[in-house]
Amino acid sequence: MGLAILLMVLDQRGLGVQQLRTALSMPLSLLENVVSWPVQLIDKLGDTVSTHDALVKENLDLKSQQLLLKAQVQRLLAIESENNQLKALLRSSTEVRGKVLIAKLLAVDTEPFVNQVVLDRGSLDAVYIGQPVLDANGVMGKIIQVGPTTSRVLLVNDTRSGIPVQNTRNSVRAIAVGDSFSGKLRLVNVTQTVDIKAGDILVTSGLGENYPAGYPVGQVESVASDPGMQFETIVVQPSAHLDRSRQVLLVWSNQKTPENHAQVAPK
């Protein structure tokens, strides 16, 4: 208190108080900085934490948007693939003789060594048992069961499937049966003297009850002869994309119009 009064008196008389005030301002300023430093540090830490939280939230939002965009891209790719299949089907339908109808796969049989699929067409669309089913590349199979709005297809690579085929190179005929284990076809009862080579193209011969002539079935992949066996082992790669096609063609030949089969369907 006395010091303050002394400073006031000296200040009134101009006796070097300004120099004293200047001398004292530096340690006072240093003391103020020391006192305020923890407060400033806390403020900076608070700003840093807030910035970190904002960056974390922004990063999570960006990752969510990235996942959403990836999902949308995948969906667009799926739609593009589906459109390409439809275009291919439409192109191939112009080459099919008789009435055709596009159907879509609803389900695939999950039992081992059973190659069957379910379509979204049934008796209400005049689908009938034994009707040929194609994709844009070749024969997929035939209808084996029909309901009002769905039907079941036995694929050509099922062991219970058999198609009369003909070699386009030399008109040799044979029977192609399914091989569920490999997913391919085999020609049965072909002796070693028959002229069949790898690369030969096989089409339906038209001699069976279900498949009109001329539809692609497959290409001979390999021919193996065993001197101790009477028949050759002939493996055929199916023309149809049995494990990829989502849309298919239901075919009515000119002799088998939809009107003739509108009533054929088990309940």
Position with higher pLDDT, 175 vs 97: 175
Give the number of domains in the chain. 3
**Are 131 and 108 part of one and the same domain?**
yes
**Are 149 and 251 part of one and the same domain?**
yes
Q: pLDDT tens for residues 94-150? A: 555 668 888 999 999 878 778 999 999 999 999 999 999 988 888 999 999 999 999
**Are 88 and 108 part of one and the same domain?**
no
Least confident of 38-42, 128-132, 144-148, 169-173: 38-42
CATH code of 212's domain: 2.40.10.350
Residue 10 lies in a domain: no
Residue 226 lies in a domain: yes
Please name which of 127, 143, 131, 156 lies closest in space to residue 216, comparing C-alpha atoms: 156
- In percent, the amount of the chain with pLDDT more than 90 equals 34
User: Residue 258: pLDDT above 80?
Assistant: no
What is the structure's pLDDT at 15? 47
What is the structure's pLDDT at 249? 87
What is the structure's pLDDT at 70? 62
**Are 133 and 170 part of one and the same domain?**
no
**Are 120 and 252 part of one and the same domain?**
yes
Q: Residue written as tokens 């739609």?
A: 79
CATH code of 150's domain: 2.40.10.340
Residue 2 lies in a domain: no
**Are 88 and 103 part of one and the same domain?**
no
Residue 1 lies in a domain: no
Residue 42 lies in a domain: yes
Burial class (CB in 10 A: 0-12, 13-18, 19+), 23: exposed
Contact (CB, 8 A) for 105 and 117: yes
Residue 14 lies in a domain: no
User: Residue 264: pLDDT above 50?
Assistant: no
**Are 226 and 112 part of one and the same domain?**
no
**Are 232 and 166 part of one and the same domain?**
yes
Of 94, 115, 139, at which residue does a domain stop?
Answer: 94
Say what the pTM is.
Answer: 0.64
**Are 129 and 254 part of one and the same domain?**
yes
User: Residue 77: pLDDT above 60?
Assistant: no
Residue 117 lies in a domain: yes
Give the 3-state DSSP-derived string for 75-144, with helices as H, strands as E and coil as C: HHHHHHHHHHHHHHHHHHHCCCCCEEEEEEEEEECCCCCCCEEEECCCHHHCCCCCCEEECCCCEEEEEE
Residue numbers of the domain that contains 135: 98-155+246-261
**Are 177 and 195 part of one and the same domain?**
yes
Contact (CB, 8 A) for 163 and 211: yes
Residue 15 lies in a domain: no
Q: pLDDT tens for residues 198-243? A: 999 999 998 877 888 888 899 999 999 888 788 999 999 999 988 8
User: Residue 23: pLDDT above 80?
Assistant: no
**Are 172 and 57 part of one and the same domain?**
no
**Are 252 and 125 part of one and the same domain?**
yes
